[in-house]
Amino acid sequence: MTALALTPIERRAHRAAAHHLQPVVAVGSDGLTPAVVREADAALNAHGLIKVRVFADARETRETMLAELADRLQAAPVQHIGKLLVLWRPIPEKEKVEREGRQAGPRMVTLVQPSRSGNHRPTIKKVKLLGNQRVTAAGRVKRKEARQISPKKRAED
């Protein structure tokens, strides 16, 4: 097992994307336990780009942890800044499709609308949405509008 290699441009893009992320895995005084590695693996499958907080004080220890995590999880080490480690691995195709919400056929959605006065219980309603429908911020179901084709594009066809 070897870690992925990133080009400097890819590394810079991943560093920028990870800037606003919060650490999802914490490595305590026990070091890299199997549970920590499992959690990091699950987080990489779900998110692709994660931050790991290491509570060790020695920089060399953190550097070896970054290298070991990247090697064990077949991920690319993106950045080591302070006590934070950033890792990246492409999201597997199955999780990517589930994460983007592409589902075949209708899907059930629960709408929760608070009462106008705030003193009563919220209204809870289950709605079946088709593939071309969405729920607005106000809780209404709308159909996706047909795409507008520009006159230039129409002339080409």
pLDDT (tens digit, 9 = 90+) per residue, 2-39? 678 899 999 999 999 999 999 999 999 899 999 999 99
- The structural domain count of the chain equals 2
Question: How many C-beta atoms lie closer than 10 Å to residue 27's C-beta?
Answer: 24
As beta bridge partners, residue 85 has 52, 80
**Domain of residue 118, residue span:** 103-144
SS3 state of residue 11: helix
Same domain, 12 and 75: yes
Same domain, 83 and 113: no
**Least trusted range by pLDDT, from 30-34, 74-78, 86-90, 138-142:** 138-142
- Helix and strand element counts for the chain (H, E): 5, 8
Say what the pLDDT of residue 131 is: 75
H-state helical runs in 19-92: 34-47, 59-73
Same domain, 136 and 90: no
Q: Is residue 40 part of a domain?
A: yes
Q: Is residue 21 part of a domain?
A: yes
Same domain, 90 and 111: no
Length of the chain: 157
For residue 34, the domain's CATH number is 3.30.110.60
SS3 state of residue 103: coil
Q: Which of 85, 66, 89 is nearest to 21 (CA)?
A: 85
How confident is residue 101, by pLDDT bands cut at 50, 70 and 90?
A: low
